[in-house]
Amino acid sequence: MQIVDLGFIAISAYIAAFLMVFPITFFTGFILAKYVTFNASELKGRIQLFRYGLTVFGAIILNYVFLKIFVEYFGWYATFSKGVTTVIVVIYSYISQRYFSFKTAQLVVTEK
């Protein structure tokens, strides 16, 4: 395994790659979600960004937890475990973005 020495910390190459790409994917994902997928949301942009950050953090935690469980405790192959984890995290991400990060106003129907 390759180690990347940053001077103040040494990390594995795949973690270094994740850290380098994360800001790009984070902001690209936010912009696409805000302006393409969930453009009907009337929440302020800074609120959306904060909530988006929370849900992304949750997705990272879920990835770690499910991979640990599936590989180390269930003994599943890593590739299969990653596939199952991806399905779970995509569902979590969609639901949390739709109903939390970019939620729309609820319509109130009154009868006359």
pLDDT tens for each residue of 76-101: 999 999 999 999 999 999 999 999 99
Per DSSP, what are the bridge partners of residue 3?
12
Pair 48, 34: CB distance under 8 Å: yes
- pLDDT at site 109: 65
Residue-wise pLDDT for 42-51, tens only, equals 899 999 999 9
Of 58 and 111, more confident: 58
Instruction: Indicate whether 11 pLDDT > 80.
Output: yes
Instruction: Report how far Cα 111 is from the mean position of its chain's Cα atoms.
Output: 40
Q: Phi/psi of residue 10, each to 5°?
A: -115, 125
What is the spatial distance between Cα 66 and Cα 100, in angstroms, rounded to a whole number? Answer: 22
- pLDDT at site 59: 96
